[in-house]
Structure 1
Amino acid sequence: MERPTAPYFSVGLTGGIGCGKSTVADLFAARGATIVDTDQIAHGLTAPNGAAMPALVAEFGAAYADARGALDRPKMRELVFSDPQAKARLEAILHPRIRAATLAAAQNATGSYVMFAVPLLVESGGWVERVNRVLVIDCLEARQIERVMTRNGLTEAQVKAIMATQATRAMRLAAADDVIDNNGAVAALEPQIAALHEVYLAFSKRMAGMASQHL
C-alpha cells in the first residue's frame, strides 16, 4: 500500500472493455469516493474547443476534426489501429495533458479517497506505481464480448480486435491488489463494493493519521 507519496489514499480502477468499470465507479462514488475518470478527461480534451484539439489538428490535419471541431474518433481509431507510429504521436499529445488534468482533479478531491478510473492502467506502465491499490473488475472474456456487442453494436470480430490491444485478463489479475467479480447482475456488485469501501476507508484514515503526525 505504500507506493505513492501523494497526501491522499488512491485506488486505480481498471478492467477490460465490457467489464463494467463505469458501473463500479458510480457505486463507489455513491459511497463518497472521488472518481477521477481518465476517459472523461480525454473526451473533454478532444471535445469542440478542447485543450488538445489545436495540437491534434496541427499533427494530424484538419481532416481528423469533425464538423463541430471535436476529434473525429472513428477516423482516429481506424488510423491508430493500423499505424503504431500514429498511435505514439497521438499518445504524445494526449497523455501529458491527461496526466496533468488527472493530478489537478485529484488535488481538488473532497471525497473520502480518490479512485482513478483508468481503462489502460496495466498497459500504461506508470499507473501501478502511482496508486496505493489496484482494483481490477474481472469477468469472463465471453461476457465482455457479449456486453460490448449489445452495448456498442459491434461485431464479435471488432470486439476481439479491441481486446487484442488491451492487457490480457491474466495480466490484469496479476497486477491486482483487489478484484471485483462482475460476471453476474449489478446486485452482485453491491456486497463486494461495500466490503472494499470499508477497507479503503480504513487505509485512508490510517494515511491521514500518519500525515498528521508529520505536521
Structure 2
Amino acid sequence: MKPWILGLTGGIGSGKTAVAQAFIDRGVHTVDADHAARWVVEPGRPALTKIVEHFGAEILQADGTLDRAALRQRIFAVPEERRWLEALLHPLIGQEIASVLAHAESPYAILVSPLLIESGQHRLTQRVLVVDAPEALQIERTMARDSANEEQVRAIVKAQADREERLRHAHDVLSNDRDLAWLDREVERLHTFYLSLRGGQA
C-alpha cells in the first residue's frame, strides 16, 4: 500500500528540523524539499543546462556546479528572472519529491518544506503539520544558529508566508515553545495518531 504524505512546515527557527528528525528516528521516511531543489540542478541534469543557456556560463563555478550566490543576485534583481526560474524548477522539484516519496516504506511519509504553502507543494500532501513558535523565540533561535543579526532574521521572518496563512492550511499544529523532551513526546503522540489514519484523514 502506498504511504500517504504528510507535509511538515514552519517558519525559520520554529524547530521543524528537530521535529523532522524525531519522526525519522521513528522510522518515518522523509524527503526535504530543499535537498530536492539542490538535486535538480546538479551537473548533468537538464535543469542546469537550461539555466546555463538562459543566464550564461558565468552562472557556473569552476567545477561546473551552479554558483548559487551569482544566481541569487540575478533573480533578486529582476523579478521576471525569478519567475522564469521558478517556472522551470518547481515542476522538476515536485517530480523529484514525488519519486522519492513513492519509494517510502513507512505507512506515511513526510515532505519537509519551509515553502510548503507558498510553493504549492502542499498539494502533494494529504495532511499538513505546522511547527509553530512565538516570533521572539524564532528570532532568538535563528540568531543563535546562524550567528545572524536580528535585523536580517526579522527580514527573513517577514519574507516567509505569514503565520496566519500557514496555520490556515494546518490540519495539526505543534507549538514548539518548550524543551526537546516535551517535543519528542508530542511527536510520539502525533506519530501514533498518524499510524491510525488511512490516507491522512481520520
TM-score higher than 0.5? yes
Residues 107-139 of structure 1 deviation map (CA, whole Å, 9 limit, x = unaligned): 111122111112111112x33333221000111
Q: How many residues get paired?
A: 200
The aligned counterpart of 1:105 is 100
Q: Is the 8 A contact 2:3 2:105 kept in 1?
A: no
Query: In the alignment, which residue of structure 2 is the partner of 1:138?
Result: 132
Q: Are 1:164 and 2:158 an aligned pair? A: yes
- In the TM superposition, what is the alpha-carbon distance from 1:169 to its structure 2 partner? 1.3
Name the CA distance, whole Å, in 1 between partners of 2:163 and 2:157: 10
Match of 1:40 among 35, 40, 43: 35
2:80 is aligned with 1:85: yes
How far 1:102 sits from its partner (Å)?
A: 0.9
Moved more, 115-124 or 62-71: 62-71
Distance in 2 of aligned mates of 1:191 and 1:66: 45
Question: Could you say which residue in structure 2 is the equivalent of 1:190?
Answer: 184
Runs of 4+ in structure 1 over 6 Å off: none
Distance 1:158 1:49, change over 3 A: farther
* TM-fit CA distance, 1:192: 0.8
Give the TM-score normalised by the residue count of structure 1: 0.84
AA paired with 2:26? R
Q: Counterpart in 1 of 2:56?
A: 61
Unaligned runs of 5+ in 2: none
Query: CA shift at 1:50, angstroms?
Result: 4.8
Cα gap change, 1:200/1:44 in structure 2, threshold over 3 Å: closer, same or farther?
same
RMSD, aligned CA: 2.1
**What fraction of aligned residue pairs are identical, expressed as a percent?**
41
* TM-score of the two chains, using structure 2 as the length reference: 0.88
The equivalent residue for 1:213 is none
Contact persistence 1:34–1:114 (CA under 8 A) = yes
What does the per-residue CA deviation read over 1:72-92, in whole Å, with 9 as the maximum and x for residues that have no partner? 222323333333212111112
Q: CA deviation at 1:49?
A: 4.3
Amino acid at match of 1:160: R
Partner of residue 94, structure 1: 89
Q: Confirm or deny: 8 A CA contact 2:14 2:176 kept in the other structure.
A: yes
- Unpaired runs of 5+ in structure 1? 1-5, 209-215
Distance in 2 between residues matched to 1:47 and 1:30, nearest whole Å: 28
Q: Whole-Å Cα distance in 2 between the matches of residues 31 and 14 of structure 1?
A: 18
Moved more, 7-16 or 66-75: 66-75
Query: Does the C-alpha gap of structure 1 residues 158 and 61 become closer, same or farther in structure 2, counting only changes over 3 Å?
Result: farther
- Secondary structure of the equivalent of 2:178? coil
**In the alignment, does 2:12 pair up with 1:14?**
no
Aligned partner letter, 1:14: T
Moved more, 29-38 or 156-165: 156-165
Q: Rate the CA distance shift 1:152–1:18 in 2: closer, same or farther, 3 A.
A: same
In 2, Cα distance between equivalents of 1:89 and 1:96: 12
Structure 2 letter corresponding to 1:66: Q
